[in-house]
């Protein structure tokens, strides 16, 4: 499950990324992190939550930016994402909103954060252990009836997806979730960490400062040639990237 705002943010990023190069995809992540940080500093949780949702889904779908040759920037980006994610979760807790009553899609978000760490970082990354710990505390006492109700809600939510392609992609995922009923929940596996524990890798202020400092030396666009977004390319811009043109030089 995901909020409508979170879905819209992820979809907007996805559409842009389909016509972007890896460095431009990384640029999309950077801009979204900055937007999330802005909402966080203003304690605007209603906006911060769906941004974190959308970004988490997007990063899970488009990981090509992790192959950029600026390895330090990639590492810093993942580190900054983790620190921001935990900062949002801490803020929600402080505001008494870290629960499914306030955010029905909370478990899905926490699961997405852990999945992202397992894919791009490591399953014992501090932010993943915090997300897993929150989920274990909140959901460990769920009954079979709770799981059945959640599955019904997922299926009802699936029916609200108007885009046929999106619905077809999500249908097998929702069906697999139904089969997992009775199995060991994802949040009961792996190490956990309290969101209240002070950990240097999750200290947002110095991490954000380091991230911004590194970005100051990173070009905001291609060093040469056309823009990253090929939708704005002229025929001349596209020509040097076409296979028949490249083959003629070989």
Question: What is the domain range of residue 115?
Answer: 4-140+185-209
Residue with tokens 């992820």: 10
C-alpha span between 200 and 83 (Å, rounded): 10
The DSSP secondary structure of 93-127, one letter per residue, reads: HHTT--STTT-TTHHHHHHHHHHHHHHHS-TT-HH
Number of structural domains, the chain? Answer: 1
Asked if 53 and 116 touch (Cβ cutoff 8 Å), the reply is no
Tell me the CB-side half-sphere exposure of residue 160, using CA atoms within 13 A: 11
Encoded tokens for 22: 């890896």
pLDDT (0 to 100) of residue 45: 94
Q: Is residue 239 part of a domain?
A: no
Nearest to 218 by CA among 45, 26, 20, 43: 26
Per-residue pLDDT of the chain (250 residues; tens, 9 = 90+): 678 787 788 777 776 666 556 777 888 899 999 999 999 999 999 999 999 999 998 888 878 788 887 889 999 999 999 999 999 999 999 999 999 999 989 999 999 999 999 988 887 899 999 999 999 999 988 877 877 877 787 788 778 777 787 778 778 877 776 766 656 788 999 999 999 999 999 999 999 999 999 998 876 655 445 565 667 777 777 665 555 544 444 4
CB-CB neighbours of 167 under 10 Å: 14
Q: Is residue 248 part of a domain?
A: no
Asked if 64 and 24 touch (Cβ cutoff 8 Å), the reply is no
Give the pTM.
0.77
Q: Is residue 90 part of a domain?
A: yes
Asked if 85 and 95 touch (Cβ cutoff 8 Å), the reply is no
Per-residue three-class SS string for 148-205:
HHHHHHHHHHHHCCCCHHHHHHHHHHHHHHHHCCCCCCHHHCCCCCCCCCCCHHHCHH
Q: Is residue 21 part of a domain?
A: yes
Q: Is residue 128 part of a domain?
A: yes
Q: Is residue 218 part of a domain?
A: no
C-alpha span between 196 and 225 (Å, rounded): 48
Q: Is residue 114 part of a domain?
A: yes
Q: Is residue 88 part of a domain?
A: yes
pLDDT (0 to 100) of residue 12: 77
């Amino acid at each position: 499950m995901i909020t409508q705002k979170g879905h819209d943010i992820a979809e907007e990023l996805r559409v842009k990324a389909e016509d972007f190069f890896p460095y431009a995809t990384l640029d999309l992540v950077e801009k979204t992190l900055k937007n999330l940080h802005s909402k966080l500093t203003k304690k605007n949780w209603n906006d911060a939550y769906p941004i974190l949702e959308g970004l988490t889904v997007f990063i899970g779908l488009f990981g090509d930016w992790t192959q950029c040759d600026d390895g330090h920037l990639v590492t810093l980006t993942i580190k900054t994402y983790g620190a921001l994610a935990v900062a949002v979760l801490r803020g929600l807790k402080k505001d008494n909103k870290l629960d499914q009553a306030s955010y029905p899609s909370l478990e899905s978000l926490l699961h997405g954060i852990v999945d992202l760490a397992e894919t791009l970082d490591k399953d014992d990354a501090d932010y993943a252990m915090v997300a897993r710990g929150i989920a274990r505390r909140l959901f460990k006492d769920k009954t079979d009836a709770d799981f059945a109700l959640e599955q019904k809600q997922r299926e009802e939510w699936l029916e609200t997806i108007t885009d046929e392609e999106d619905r077809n992609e999500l249908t097998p995922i929702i069906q697999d979730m139904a089969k997992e009923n009775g199995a060991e929940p994802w949040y009961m596996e792996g190490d956990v960490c309290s969101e209240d524990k002070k950990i240097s890798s999750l200290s947002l202020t110095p991490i954000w400062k380091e991230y911004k400092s590194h970005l100051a030396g990173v070009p905001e666009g291609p060093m040469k040639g056309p823009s990253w977004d090929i939708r704005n390319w002229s025929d001349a811009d596209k020509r040097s990237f076409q296979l028949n043109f490249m083959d003629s030089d070989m």
